[in-house]
Structure 1
Amino acid sequence: LSAPTELHFSFTNKCSAGCTHCYTNSVPDAKEEFTLEDMKKHIDRLADFGVFHIALGGGESLERDDIFEIAAYIRTKNMVPNLTTSGLPMTPEMAKRCNIFGQINVSIDSLIPDPSQPRLAAHLQKSMEALKMLIQHGNKTGINCVINRYNYDQIPAILKFAKENKLADVEFLRLKSSGRATFSIFNNLNCTPEQHRDFWPTLLKYSKKYKQDVKIDCSYVPMMAYHSPDKKLMEKFCVKGCDGGNLLAAADHKGRVKACSFSHEFAGKLEDIRDEWGKNENFLKYVNWSKSAIEPCKSCNYLSLCKGGCHVVAETVNNDFFSPDPECPKVYAYNQRKKAEASQ
C-alpha cells in the first residue's frame, strides 16, 4: 500500500503499572515526552500520508494530561483514535470523556488475583473498575489479553466474563520477546506446543458457546491455518498474518518508526515516514518475506495469507528473521521430524 491504514503510536513511555513483559519497557519516571504541539505535527503528517486509524498506546496514555486533546485533534483530521490502557488511572470523569475514542481496550491478562503478588492483585481490581466505568458511560470497550502458558486455561472464563459484561470484543495477543520481555522471560512464559496447537479450536468452541466476538493478533494466524480453515473465507474477511510495513506501522515515544510494534529494528523517523515507506529495508523485509520463504512455509497452502507467522518470534528463537515461525504447529512438527531423522 502507499501508506499504512493503521499506525500503532506508543507516544509516551511513562507508565506506573510495571508489567514484567512490557514490550516497550515503560517506566513511571520516563522523561522523553512529546509536547502537545509535537503530537499535532505528527498527527498532521500521518493524516497527510493517508493513515486511517491511530492506535494510541504507551506507556500509559491516560497518564498524560492532554490525552483527550490529542484524541480530539486526531478526529479533526478525519482519523479514528483508539486507545489501549491498563485502566489504572481511570476515573469516572475520564470515562465520560472516552467517547472521543473509537474503542478503548483495557489490558487484562487474568481474572484471578494472585495472593502472592498483592500489587498485581490491586492492579486487576483497578482494571476491572475501569471496565465498569467505561461501560457505564456507553463507551465501546474491549479487553486485550496476552496469552501465556499460565493463563491459557482462562480463555473460556475470559470469554464468559466479556459476554456477561457486554464487552465489544476480546483481542487475544501472542507473547513476543521485546522490551522487558527478554528471551528468558519469553522462554518461561510462552505457550507450550500443545497449547498453540489447540488454541484455535478452543477459541472457536468458547466464542460460539458464549456468543462473544473475538479478535486475534496477526501472529496467531499460523495457529489458525494449522487446522485448515476455508482459505477463500479467510481471504474474504481479510484474515492475514504479519502485515507490518504494508497495512501496519508503528512509532515510539522518540518518534522512531518500524514495521511492527515488537520489531527490534527501526526504519527511520516519523518525520520521514513518507520517504521511507516502501523503500527502507526494515519495512521491505516484512513485506517481501514470503518471496524467500523456506520449507515448510514455502510449500504451505496458506503462505500467501500467513506470511510465515511472527518474524519477531522467529528472530528471538532462531536468531534469524527470515526463518519460519518456530511456534507455528506445522513448523514445530516439521522441525521435530527433521530432528528425529537426523538422530537415526
Structure 2
Amino acid sequence: MLTYPLTLHFEVTDHCNNSCPHCYASSWIQSPAKRPAKRAKPNIIELARRIVDSDVFDVVITGGEPLILGIDRLSELFKFFNDNNVQYSLNTNGRLLSQATCKELKDAGLQSVLISLHSWVDELHNEIVNAPNAAGDTKNGIQNALNQGLRVAVNQVIDNRNIDTMYASSAELERMGVHQISFTRALSPMKVGYKVDTINAARFLDEFLKCKENLNVSVVSLLPIPFCADPRVKDLDVKLSCSGGISSAVLSCYGDVRFCPHDSHVWGNVFEEGFDTIWKRISEWREDLAAPAECDDCSFVVDCRGACRVASKLYSNDYTAMDPWARHSVKNYRRKVLYSEFDPDCSYRLSSDIRWRKENEAFLLYFGADHLLVNLDGVEFIRRLPQEFVPSELLSATEENREVHFQFLNVLYYNGLLVNKGKL
C-alpha cells in the first residue's frame, strides 16, 4: 500500500463548453437533480500545494474544461509544478486551443496534451458532446497544438454510435501527425443506452486491433479490458487492471477526493482532513476489494483483478461484480513474452526519466507511468552504476553478490529502467 498516489487527476474546474453524457463532471447539466450545492472554490495553488506536499509525481490537469480557467491561472499552476519538480499534462476538448493559446501554454512549460475527438464525422462528434460546431473547433485545436510542437494524444470515448468509426477516425488523426491515439469505452452514469454493452466488445476489439495493426502510431486503451473479453486480448499490450485507489486518485476543484474519474463517490476533502488520511482510507478499501468470485480460478486474476470496477458498479451496482465485458475465467495460459531478453554482453544505460520517493522502509522508483519498489541496497547499487556499462564486465570485477546483482539488473531491464545500447 503506497503512502500517497503516484499520479493524480486534478479537476481544476467543473465548468465546460461541451456537455458530454459520459462525463461525470458535466452530469448535472444533463440531470439538474444531480447538480451539487453551490460551493466556494479554493485557490487553485492551495490545492496544488497539497499535491506537492504529497510527493505526487504526475498530474493530469483536467476538468470540466481546464482552458476555461484562462491562460494566466494555468500558467501560474504550471510554474508552481515546474518549481516543485512535478510532471504534468493537460486534458482538454481542444475547442479553445487557438494558435496563440497553444504558444502561450508551451511557453509556460506545457509539453503534452490529450484532446478528445470522438469521431472524425463532425455531426457525430457534435451529437456525442451535445454542442454544435464543436468538431471543427476541436480539429483546429489539434492542428494548432501540433503546429506549436506540443505532444498531442487524441482520445475517443466509444459508445454504440461511434464504434464503427474508430478506425476511419484514427486514420485521419494519424495523417494529422498526432503522437498517440487512445480509446475509452463509454461509462455513463446517466444514460444506459449510451454504454457499450457486452455484445459490442468484439466490435470494439475488431476496430481496436485494426488500428494497432495498420496505423503507424501508438494505439492504447485508457480503461482496462478483461483478459477474458475476447481470446485476442491475452496477447495484446493493453492496460490490464484499474490503478484507481492503488496508485492514482482524483482531486476536484473543491478539494474532494475520489478514487476514479468515472466514479462519483467522494472519500473526503483535503481541507477537512489530511490527504494522507483520505488516501489511506481509499487504499485500504481497494486492497480489500476482491475480484469477482467468478475470477478466482483464472490464470490472470492477479494481473487483471476483474478489470474495471467502476464499469461493474455502473452496470450491476456492485464494485465486486463481473466487468460487463468479462466472459469466463482463463486457465492454464501463458502470455506471450512482449520484451526482448536481457543480454549481459550488451551495453546499457540507466533510463534518464527515473524519479525517486521514500516509501515506508523502501524507495519507490517512478518512470513513465510505472513504478518499482527497491530496498536501500538496491538504491545504492543503482547510484553506483556508471553512465554506460556492460553487465558482464561490470560484475566480473567483484565476487560479492554477483548473482544477486545480475538478477537485479535483469529486473531493472524487464521494468524498462535500463536502456539497451547494443553490442559494443
- TM category (shorter chain) comes to 0.7 to 0.9
For the pair shown, the structure with the greater C-alpha radius of gyration is 2
**1:122 is matched with which residue?**
133
Give 1:50's aligned amino acid. Answer: D
Equivalent residues in 2 for 1:1-344 (5 A)? 1-25=2-26, 32=39, 34=41, 38-65=43-70, 66-99=73-106, 100-114=109-123, 120-178=131-189, 182=190, 185=191, 187-222=192-227, 226-227=231-232, 229-230=234-235, 239-271=239-271, 272-278=274-280, 280=281, 282-290=282-290, 293-295=292-294, 297-330=295-328
Give 1:240's aligned amino acid. Answer: L
Taking a change above 3 Å as real, the CA distance of residues 27 and 199 of structure 1, as seen in their structure-2 partners, is: closer
SS at match of 1:200: helix
**Aligned-pair CA distance for 1:284:** 2.8
Taking a change above 3 Å as real, the CA distance of residues 15 and 27 of structure 1, as seen in their structure-2 partners, is: farther
Greater share of residues in strand: 2
Mapped to 2, the partners of 1:162 and 1:70 lie a distance apart of 30
1:211-253 superposed Cα distances (whole Å, 9 cap, x missing partner)? 12012113334476753524xx86xx9x431111111101112
SS at match of 1:24: helix
1:302-342 superposed Cα distances (whole Å, 9 cap, x missing partner)? 211111122222112212121121232438xxxxxxxxxxx
Mapped to 1, the partners of 2:147 and 2:7 lie a distance apart of 28
Mapped to 1, the partners of 2:161 and 2:319 lie a distance apart of 27
**Aligned-pair CA distance for 1:59:** 0.9
Mapped to 1, the partners of 2:161 and 2:184 lie a distance apart of 14
SS at match of 2:24: coil
Taking a change above 3 Å as real, the CA distance of residues 166 and 224 of structure 1, as seen in their structure-2 partners, is: farther
Give 1:145's aligned amino acid. Answer: Q
Taking a change above 3 Å as real, the CA distance of residues 102 and 123 of structure 1, as seen in their structure-2 partners, is: same
SS at match of 1:14: coil
Taking a change above 3 Å as real, the CA distance of residues 228 and 209 of structure 1, as seen in their structure-2 partners, is: closer
Mapped to 1, the partners of 2:302 and 2:234 lie a distance apart of 14
Greater share of residues in helix: 1
SS at match of 2:118: coil
**Aligned-pair CA distance for 1:201:** 4.6
SS at match of 2:146: helix
The answer on whether the counterparts of 1:44 and 1:77 sit within 8 Å (CA) in structure 2 is: no
1:66-120 superposed Cα distances (whole Å, 9 cap, x missing partner)? 1122122112111112111111222221110232223111111111122896974
Q: More displaced, 41-50 or 256-265?
A: 41-50
1:249-283 superposed Cα distances (whole Å, 9 cap, x missing partner)? 011122110111122312111342112223x1x44
Mapped to 1, the partners of 2:213 and 2:256 lie a distance apart of 41
Give the alignment's TM-score, normalised by structure 1. Answer: 0.82
Give 1:25's aligned amino acid. Answer: S
Taking a change above 3 Å as real, the CA distance of residues 288 and 217 of structure 1, as seen in their structure-2 partners, is: farther
Q: More displaced, 221-230 or 128-137?
A: 221-230
SS at match of 1:202: helix
**2:363 is matched with which residue?**
none
Taking a change above 3 Å as real, the CA distance of residues 94 and 121 of structure 1, as seen in their structure-2 partners, is: same
Q: Specify every segment of 5 or more residues in structure 2 that has no aligned partner in the other structure, as ranges.
A: 30-34, 330-424
The answer on whether the counterparts of 2:58 and 2:88 sit within 8 Å (CA) in structure 1 is: yes
Mapped to 2, the partners of 1:326 and 1:105 lie a distance apart of 27
SS at match of 1:260: coil
**Aligned-pair CA distance for 1:299:** 1.5
The answer on whether the counterparts of 2:8 and 2:60 sit within 8 Å (CA) in structure 1 is: yes
Give 1:214's aligned amino acid. Answer: V
Give 2:185's aligned amino acid. Answer: R
Give the alignment's TM-score, normalised by structure 2. Answer: 0.68
Mapped to 2, the partners of 1:44 and 1:285 lie a distance apart of 26
The answer on whether the counterparts of 2:211 and 2:219 sit within 8 Å (CA) in structure 1 is: no
Q: How many pairs were matched up?
A: 314
The answer on whether the counterparts of 1:109 and 1:147 sit within 8 Å (CA) in structure 2 is: yes
Q: Specify every segment of 5 or more residues in structure 1 that has no aligned partner in the other structure, as ranges.
A: 332-344
